[in-house]
Amino acid sequence: MVADGDRALKPTLVLFPGALGDAVCFEPTLDAIAAGGPVVLHARGAAASIARLFPARPQVRSLDEPAIATLFAPREESTGEPAAAPTWLDDFGRIVSLTGAADPVARARLEARRARVLPFPRRPTGAHLCDAFLRLATGDAHAVARAPRVVLPASSSPRAAGDRLLLVHPGAGAVARRSPFELLAAIAGRWRRCGHGDVGVVVGPADEDLAGAWAGRGFRVLRPADAATLATELARASAFLGNDSGPSHLAAAVGVPGLALFRASDPASFAPRGERFEWLVADGGADAVEHAWQALRRIVLDSPGGRH
């Protein structure tokens, strides 16, 4: 048994199974958890990459480490009871897990070490995802999270004076949430024709099927190596255009002005939060290009400091 005084001197363990957009929305909650001391965050993929840039500066480790798998090992055959909680959990004063809630064995092992095992918010959340995470972690049903923040390294190169770049992310976690190619391409083409600057199209492994169409229209295709590299690329842009996707949340968090187009999900729950970031329902109507263009122009060009 670990004494409460000893617990206060140990870091907090956070287990987080979400993707990039989930992780950005979780950042304010992680910051609140970190107010109690250092945090060790286990995540994977893009979420792990971007978490290293969160203001709380958690120690980031993989959710796929063998130690994590011991939480989900089968029951002991001889007794039918859950195996003892792994002793490595004793290294932490607090444990907050957003995985294991639906697994009785994993939940029992975590709760044996006084962990808070929380159900991961699923669509529809009934609240904005940022708020849903904070309410789960704090138990305050009315808590409202601040906008997520990502802090780039001081060594990151800022956008050069005079550079005018629109970054477009045409992908999304589900095909139904992707805006039509012709809609995004028309807006990107208008950006160039109106003299606002260059256009770059960001694709990841899940969006590679879209790269050819954009390259065929003469647009430069960018393939950032990881989410942290993507954050740096976004920070150098003048504007961003995307869908209900992780990169849209990341763009808002790094402070680039932009627009997210929604088709098959609820903006009230999933719209990116940022000071100069807005959303628009892309209904595919005849005026969709004009509506999106005017919204992007207002956000980017007509905001203070945004005129070229």
Q: pLDDT, tens digit, for every residue of 256-291?
A: 999 999 998 899 999 999 999 999 998 777 799 999
List the CATH number of the domain containing 61: 3.40.50
Task: Tell whether 305 is covered by a domain.
Answer: no
Is the domain of 18 the same as that of 98?
A: yes
List the CATH number of the domain containing 199: 3.40.50.2000
What CA–CA distance (Å, rounded) separates 184 from 60?
Answer: 35
Task: Tell whether 149 is covered by a domain.
Answer: no
Is the domain of 218 the same as that of 267?
A: yes
- What pTM was estimated for this model as a whole? 0.92
| pLDDT greater than 50 at residue 161 | no
Task: Tell whether 209 is covered by a domain.
Answer: yes
- Beta strands 277-281 and 116-117: pairing type? unpaired
Task: Tell whether 308 is covered by a domain.
Answer: no
Question: Residue 4: helix, strand or coil by DSSP?
Answer: helix
The mean pLDDT of the chain is: 90
Task: Report the pLDDT averaged over residues 225-247.
Answer: 96
Give the domain-ending residue among 103, 138, 173.
138
Task: Tell whether 97 is covered by a domain.
Answer: yes
Is the domain of 176 the same as that of 128?
A: no
Task: Tell whether 112 is covered by a domain.
Answer: yes
Cα distances (Å, whole numbers) of residue 60 to 38, 41, 54: 11, 5, 10
Task: Tell whether 65 is covered by a domain.
Answer: yes
pLDDT band of residue 1 (cuts 50, 70, 90) is very low
Take residue 85 and report the two structure tokens written for it.
């909680």
| pLDDT greater than 80 at residue 156 | no
Per the structure, the count of domains in the chain is 2
Range of the domain at 293: 165-300
Task: Tell whether 147 is covered by a domain.
Answer: no
Residues in contact with 263: Cβ distance below 8 Å, sequence separation at least 6, in sequence order: 176, 177, 178, 179, 243, 244, 281, 282, 283, 284
